[in-house]
Amino acid sequence: MTDLLTSAVRELEKRGASFGDVRLEDRSTFLVRIVNEQIQTMNQVRRRGWGVRAFVDGAWGYASGTSNSASAVREAARKATAIARTNAEAGVPKSRLRKMPSRTKSVEPPLRIDPRDVSVEEKIAAAMEVCRAQRMDRISSTTAATMHADVRFELANTWGAHLSWREVRARLFAVPVAAEGDRHESVTKFVDGTGGWEIVKDVDGGAFGREVAAEAVEMLSAAKPPSGLMTAVVDPGVAGLLAHEVMGHSSEGDEIVKARSFLTGQVGKRVGSSLVTMYDDGTYAGAHGTIPFDAEGTPSHKTAIIERGVYRGYLHSLETSGVMKARPTGNGRAQDFSRRVWVRMTNTYFAPGKAPKDELIEETKSGVLTKNWVMGMEDPVGGGFQAVTQSGFLIEDGEIGPRLRGMTLTGKALEILKSVDMLSKEFALDGGTCGKGDEDYVPVSAGGPYMRCKVIVGGG
């Protein structure tokens, strides 16, 4: 254990904290963005610091810093304990913690190619290849980027835990814009996950760029989508929006404790058809939201939220599991060492079914097939669902018809889930970042199978 961690833990104990921890972070990120075959942005950033938490009489205190001095972290421990005690005396609502067994463990990610061993020139070349491949008739703008993030953590607490781990992520993405007259269409496509530079290197950059550019051009002739309540075969990305934005956020334990979720009191009740099973899974190998431990040192878990249509439970930090007398699920996460811990998702998805995707299409007389998402709405209070797609297709007599412009899907989440009558065996996850409201972003992913359901369609 480093001197910084030892100093903080001893000071927390000395100052009477019933629980306390200190987390060191060493963050390194690299990004190169190329627009129209010119480097627009190239950043390499490193940030190192620590955060100290103290829990006194049911209240929290926080302090953080960047100094390498043991005296600075001891002062932070004193400050965090004093803040917690002041909050407790001020009458803030009391919390409790679920104690976890102490453990000592170090985890290194399985990387085939460590991004630190890859030259800047190769990282630029990977993005440039994708950008150049987007050049074709009616493409007015081309964008491509590569990035990687490398974070080392070390955590110790007053319960005797000492953990160290590393999280490495990489991403490649492309955004071509097609134009014809006054009409412009863009398509975004990316590949990402936890892992090394192999995530980027294993992609055929030329094929990747050409494919996304061709789709943007095709969008120029897309038709207006139909409107009204209809059958939709939603793709894994849109299914993931339903899992994440509505069912996932509404399952976060701090929303339940505050009674701000429409899923409060729903454990054991039917919320979807018997085909619907949903997980939050921080252990999913290679996914963008995969973590060995959360920001409190709890090992990541695969947590069943829905099983065969029945709602099973919530996501928890040490605090919400203590308040609700539940098992911590490894969902106490923080954007960085200077931010507080919230209950946050990791990889949230609907489990796949057994039918081939083509069978869902063939057994649909009339409806729409969605393709890729643009944005979704978070509504943990009302349980409403809204998703905007990049495009889609009309389904006519069991066959895929004309391409459609982007559409908006809306409805009540539980009504949509109860209408699910087919799920594909094909499955995919999309990675990104998620905020708690408008801040505190952490890496996550969401997804699922192709899902046939009833939903209100509009837009175009």
* pLDDT by 10-residue block (mean), the chain, 460 residues: 86 96 97 98 96 97 94 96 96 90 93 96 98 97 97 97 97 97 94 97 98 96 95 97 96 94 96 98 98 97 98 97 95 96 97 97 97 89 94 96 95 97 97 84 97 92
Q: 79 with 15: CB under 8 angstroms?
A: no
pLDDT of residue 440: 86
Question: Cα torsion for 108, 127, 188, 446, to the nearest 10°?
Answer: 0
Cα–Cα distances (Å) from 230 to 54, 194, 225, 401, 442, in that order, read 53, 37, 12, 16, 35
pLDDT of residue 226: 95
pLDDT of residue 289: 98
Architecture category of domain 3-219 in CATH: 2-Layer Sandwich (3.30)
pLDDT of residue 460: 62
pLDDT of residue 92: 87
Decide the pairing of beta strands 439-458 and 347-350: parallel
**CATH 3.30.2290.10 domain locations along the chain:** 3-219
pLDDT of residue 378: 84
Q: 30 with 169: CB under 8 angstroms?
A: no
Q: Which long-range contacts (CB under 8 A, 24 or more apart) does 319-323 make?
A: 319/95, 319/96, 319/97, 319/254, 320/253, 320/254, 320/256, 320/257, 321/97, 321/98, 321/253, 322/95, 322/96, 322/97, 322/98, 323/95, 323/96, 323/253, 323/257
pLDDT of residue 331: 98
**What number of other Cβ atoms are within 10 A of residue 404's Cβ?**
24
